[in-house]
Structure 1
Amino acid sequence: MINFILLILTLPFISSISDGDSLNPNPAPEAQVLREENDILRLPKGINSCTYVSSKLMAGQNQEVGEVTVIVDRVGYFKVTYSITEPGYCLQETHLSVVRQYADFPVTQAGNPSIGNFEYSGNHDCSVSVSYTIPMEKGYLIAAHAVVKGQSKSSETAWAKGCDFTGDSWAMYFQAANLIPG
């Protein structure tokens, strides 16, 4: 009889767990688990529409050729990795800027990014993956540009998908969701 009473008293608790609800029915959005939405891993809506852990690498504005991923590498450092996922494409150049606030990105007077002034860059012999290790104090706003060689053997510019820069180009930047302080 005591077992039956205990079972009856715990049913609401067991039911809420089996339905996938947590003990806190309305957790703060920043406490929620990251989930995939529109093929991009990002925080739930309402946090920031340009907040990702992994962003699509877009060539020529509309061709997805890979991704740019941010992972915590070791204490005080994180790694930004450009990865080509589309067969027939490869990386010829990469340019990366990591800053604490938007105003710190190197840009022209017109508001377009000045990739020649990005803090990290390299020329590559048709690589499919390139990584940069960055100190955490640099920030969590990331502009990741690349030059990719396409299937037609021509080169195209590519950007990690995110929010638009204020200039008239299609350049983009994003926030690394797993690096945001607080």
Structure 2
Amino acid sequence: MKKKLIWLLFPALVLSCQVQDAEELAAAGEEEDLWEAYDPSSAARYSKPKGDNGPLTLPPDVKPCTAPAVYDLFARDKDLGSVTISNDDKNLYVTYFTTKSLQKLFLWVGADLKDMPRTQSGNPVLVNFFYKAHANNASTYTFTISLDELAKRKLDCNKNLLFVAYAEVDGEHAFGGDFPIPCFNRWAFIMKYKIICCSAPEPPVSDDETAFAKGNWVFVQGGCNEFNPECLPGLNISNRWGWAINADEPLEFSFDIYAGAAKNDITKGTKVGRLAVEYATVVINGNPTAIGTITYIIDTGWTMKELHIYAADNRPTTAAPGQYGHTVKFPSGSTYYQYTINFADPDVVNDGVWFIAHAVVNPTPGQ
């Protein structure tokens, strides 16, 4: 059997490889096996960095043929943004996003890592990557690559591709992805994506929309900028849009729920319902306890598929809905849900209580 990765056996590269990487990929053999060997779950032994897998960012007016692939943009273990890979019927798009500023960008796309420009010791040579640009301190940048151009390199529809996406972010060195590049002496990551042609039969495109109750804090940095148009205080825990509710006294209030409000701009989103919050702190058996209710009321024309609620005395440290602590799924959809608030509220740092209300919503068929 012809080995696609025989290059791993060259002495100069063996010296630069992590032994486990070399053995794992050399054993993969044929190209299709290499694709299967690329398994981000196996990156656990490399102390895989933690991010929020987003946000998904697409160029304006692009309608992808298949679900985009979204990876975090890591500077070592710091999540500085995301890289979104997508394609329509004409082009492949690789979109960088950060809440900071992008400078130099380098991108390699191929089906076999042996084709990536690298030194004799195995380190990628970024300046020799075919795709390169300077983003001039923009927050987003997209490489647009013609599918016809890729087809000349036999990188066409239904082809499994590997990507190395480098970005200079406010002077820091960052790579998209979370799986280490084999035979690379320094930290760096690779990503994968399969081009799907629009003419190929595809499963129905999901019309899921993520939604948050509009609170008085944002997930991003505080201050006035394009990601915080209302100049709200910021938790600085994520690059994604979304809000948290902070209350330092008894609360009885209604908050609008918005779907698709990119960059925390409600003019870009759709109001899909409201969140009613009733809360007070009482002493139970000598212990301060927050009690009350959180109620989702979804507007006509929309339905909830699932929801996630954060309710605690401590300031939120993650924007990932699955880690909020309370999850409910509605297989048949729902327009109403009430959650009972009941948690210890010693308020040791004197910052009140915190709530986050997230939902996945769909337009009601026929509306």
TM-score, normalised relative to structure 1: 0.61
Question: What secondary structure does 2:109 align onto?
Answer: strand
Q: Which structure is richer in relative contact order (CA contacts within 8 A, separation 6 or more)?
A: 1
Tell me which of 119, 131, 134 is aligned to 1:108: 119
Contact 1:73 1:133 in 2 (8 A): no
Question: In the alignment, is residue 135 of structure 1 matched against residue 146 of structure 2?
Answer: yes
Provide the C-alpha distance between the structure 2 equivalents of 1:98 and 1:124, rounded to a whole number of angstroms.
19
Question: In the alignment, is residue 174 of structure 1 matched against residue 191 of structure 2?
Answer: yes
Question: What secondary structure does 1:103 align onto?
Answer: helix
Cα drift, residue 124 of structure 1: 2.3
Q: 1:180 to 1:117 in 2, by over 3 A?
A: farther
Q: 1:164 to 1:180 in 2, by over 3 A?
A: farther
Q: Give 2:103's aligned amino acid.
A: Q
Contact 1:162 1:172 in 2 (8 A): yes
Q: Give 1:57's aligned amino acid.
A: L
Cα drift, residue 39 of structure 1: 3.8
Q: Residue 58 of structure 1 aligns with which residue?
A: 74
Provide the C-alpha distance between the structure 1 equivalents of 2:79 and 2:196, rounded to a whole number of angstroms.
26
Cα drift, residue 169 of structure 1: 0.8
- Cα root mean square deviation, aligned: 2.5
Contact 2:87 2:196 in 1 (8 A): no
Contact 2:106 2:165 in 1 (8 A): yes
Mean alpha-carbon deviation: is it higher for 113-122 or for 137-146?
Answer: 137-146
Contact 2:106 2:166 in 1 (8 A): yes
Q: Deviations over 1:11-34 (max 9, x none)?
A: xxxxxxxxxxxxxxxxxxxxxxxx
Question: What secondary structure does 2:72 align onto?
Answer: strand
Q: Residue 168 of structure 2 aligns with which residue?
A: 147
Alignment of 1:21-100 (within 5 A): 39-40=52-53, 53-59=69-75, 61-75=76-90, 77-84=91-98, 86=99, 89-100=100-111
Provide the C-alpha distance between the structure 1 equivalents of 2:96 and 2:144, rounded to a whole number of angstroms.
12
Count of residue pairs brought into register by the alignment: 125
Q: Give 2:106's aligned amino acid.
A: H
Q: Residue 7 of structure 1 aligns with which residue?
A: none
Q: Residue 20 of structure 1 aligns with which residue?
A: none
Contact 2:113 2:162 in 1 (8 A): yes
Contact 2:95 2:140 in 1 (8 A): yes
Provide the C-alpha distance between the structure 2 equivalents of 1:135 and 1:100, rounded to a whole number of angstroms.
16
Contact 1:112 1:171 in 2 (8 A): no
Provide the C-alpha distance between the structure 1 equivalents of 2:102 and 2:53, rounded to a whole number of angstroms.
21
Alignment of 1:4-19 (within 5 A): none
Q: Residue 117 of structure 1 aligns with which residue?
A: 128
Cα drift, residue 121 of structure 1: 0.7
Contact 2:103 2:136 in 1 (8 A): yes
Provide the C-alpha distance between the structure 2 equivalents of 1:180 and 1:109, rounded to a whole number of angstroms.
34
Question: What secondary structure does 1:127 align onto?
Answer: coil
Provide the C-alpha distance between the structure 1 equivalents of 2:104 and 2:138, rounded to a whole number of angstroms.
9
Q: Give 1:161's aligned amino acid.
A: G
TM-score, normalised relative to structure 2: 0.32
